[in-house]
Amino acid sequence: MTDGFNTVSEDELHAYVDGHLSEPERERIEAWLKAHPAEAEEVRQWQAQAAALKQHFADYARSDAGDRALLNAHGQVRATPASAAGPALRRVAAALLIFVAGAFTGAYAPRLVAPIDPRASSTDIDSLSEQAQSAFLVYASEVRHPVEVGADQQAHLATWLGKRLDYDLKLPDLSTLGFSLVGGRLIPVNGAAGAMLMYEDATGRRLTVLLGRNPQNRETSFRIASHAGVETFYWIDREIGYAVTGEVARHLLQKVAEECYRQFEGTSAS
Amino acid sequence: MSHGRDGPGSGAEAQASAPADFEASVLALMPALRRYSRSLARSDSDGEDLLQDCVERVLARRSQWRGVNLRAWAFTIMTNLYRNHHRRQTQHPEVELEDCLAAEETSADPIQGRRLERALDRLSAENRSVLMLVVIEGYRYQDVAEMLAIPIGTVMSRLSRSRRQLAEAMKEDNVISLRRPK
């Protein structure tokens, strides 16, 4: 440390509490804290917190009789995690999906019956980002059944969703960005059939790509919407509106959006 | 500035090169994973659910593991699963009563332990996971930044926010319990 005796950053106070400092650094901080009672009190609180947290969760660091069985169970079915869920569970999930679909229909039904108003076009694209965010929040949290059709049936997925959207759907390949396809589902967008594709990286971070028909048949630039850490890039390209949503850094999501745009553009040109 | 050199967690505690060793290595990590999952979750049963989902994911993705630091890799997967879970939890924040009672028994002072849990439940998923990785799991700031793919400045601001919010929540809780009639 080259700074003078009397400058200590907050980062250094954290490093002090967490025991990440060398002995001379520690001594310097301790001397500084003696002269700064308010900060010393805060540091004391942080130390007490740390001790309480360590103690509170210490007992959980244990092996359990069921651990080996758990590993064996999942070790054998690792190729298809979805099949690990029992039929009963899947029935429950199916019932829930019907319920969720119902909730979506309810929420967006007004758009279904609303007359096509030229003034509504700006809200239509904004609602696209809202719908994309809702879909992301609902489905990205699904551990076992995030999608209806998995990536193992890609050709079927593309044909099925493409048919419902009345659009030659090609599933974007995002592997260069580290994301692989989880699968997709049919989802109401602006009160009509739309498609949601889900992608995931090796550590389980998820992204969704939403496609919906755009009755106005116009084009927009890229737009971005951000809500509580969930970012959405969206755009309309003639008859289809697109929205890419994720809880990832904006620059990464932008790359994903650009990659999707590039690949979807290839689709409509063909 | 450098954030110290003696943090524990960065060592590759469970290295496995041969596939046959993989499950044994995960098994050896179970206590650490169980503690981390519980430190993120709102209850014992949520913690076990998260742990199971994580183990399932780790085994399903074993081919994508690059062969270094299995512990950090599993913790990253757990953190991402937790954030996915958490979005759902915030829509259904109920915690079963038995879970609260079970959690109480693990702390030396049951009332204090419960206050701590309540205060932790007010932290965002992002802030909570950084706090636990640093304080309980002993990771250095740079390690956490790499594990969660965020800048180190974000790690520091989340840690700072967690510590302040936790202190604030414990204080508020204190005020409420003083008002309680005897």
Give the per-residue pLDDT at A118.
35
A228-246: pLDDT as tens digits: 778 898 888 888 899 999 9
Nearest to B136 among A19, A54, A84 (CB): A54
Nearest to A53 among B84, B136, B160 (CB): B136
- Interface confidence (ipTM) of the complex: 0.77
B-chain residues near A247 (CB < 8 A): 83
Two structure tokens written together for A260: 């999707």
Cβ contacts from A onto B, under 8 A: 143
Domains of chain A plus CATH, in order, are 1-113 (no CATH), 118-264 (3.30.200.100)
Residue A19, pLDDT above cutoff 50: yes
Range among A190-199, B31-40, B86-95 with highest mean pLDDT value: B31-40
Q: Which of residues 110-139 of A touch B (CB under 8 A)?
A: 137
B123-159: pLDDT as tens digits: 999 999 999 999 999 999 999 999 999 999 999 999 9
Nearest to A10 among B4, B23, B160 (CB): B160
Q: Taking the alpha carbons of B131, B133, B137, B141 in that order, is the dihedral positive or negative?
A: negative
Residue B103, pLDDT above cutoff 90: no
> Rounded mean pLDDT of A154-164?
90
Give the per-residue pLDDT at B35.
95
Least reliable range by pLDDT among A88-97, A115-124, A164-173: A115-124
R_g (Cα) of chain A, nearest Å:
25
Q: How far is the C-alpha of A131 from the C-alpha of A228, rounded, in Å?
A: 15
Least reliable range by pLDDT among A76-80, A106-110, B24-28, B67-71: A106-110
Chain B closest-CA separation from residue A163 CA (Å): 30
Give the per-residue pLDDT at B109.
59
**Is A78 an 8 Å CB contact of chain B?**
yes
In sequence order, the β-bridge partners of residue A211 are: A195, A242
Give the per-residue pLDDT at B62.
87
> Rounded mean pLDDT of A108-125?
40
**Is A253 an 8 Å CB contact of chain B?**
no
Task: Tell me whether residues B4 and A15 touch, CB distance under 8 A.
Answer: yes
Q: How far is the C-alpha of A46 from the C-alpha of B163, rounded, in Å?
A: 6
Q: How far is the C-alpha of A60 from the C-alpha of B35, rounded, in Å?
A: 5
Chain B closest-CA separation from residue A167 CA (Å): 31
Residue A15, pLDDT above cutoff 90: yes
R_g (Cα) of chain B, nearest Å:
17
Nearest to B35 among A46, A61, A78 (CB): A61
> Rounded mean pLDDT of A163-170?
88
A-chain residues near B7 (CB < 8 A): 18-20
Q: Which of residues 36-65 of A touch B (CB under 8 A)?
A: 42, 45-46, 49-50, 52-64
Residue matched to tokens 């809200």: A123
Give the per-residue pLDDT at B125.
93
Give the per-residue pLDDT at B110.
64
Cβ atoms within 10 Å of A119's Cβ, excluding its own: 6
> Smallest Cα–Cα separation from A207: which of A144, A253, A261?
A253
Strand order in the sheet with A180-189: A149-150, A180-189, A192-200, A206-219, A230-246, A223-227
DSSP string, A230-244: EEEEEEEEEEEEEEE
Residue B93, pLDDT above cutoff 90: no
Two structure tokens written together for A242: 């697109």
Q: Taking all residues of chain A, what is their mean pLDDT, rounded to a whole number?
A: 79
Q: Which of residues 204-223 of A touch B (CB under 8 A)?
A: 204-206
> Rounded mean pLDDT of B161-172?
89
Task: Tell me whether residues B85 and A143 touch, CB distance under 8 A.
Answer: yes
**End-to-end CA distance of chain A, in Å?**
61
Task: Tell me whether residues A202 and B88 touch, CB distance under 8 A.
Answer: no
Residue matched to tokens 């990440």: A20
Give the per-residue pLDDT at B42.
87
Give the per-residue pLDDT at A76.
53
Selected for mutation to probe chain A from B25, B50, B56 (highest A CB count within 10 Å) is B56
% of chain A at pLDDT higher than 90: 36
Chain A closest-CA separation from residue B3 CA (Å): 6
Give the per-residue pLDDT at B182.
40
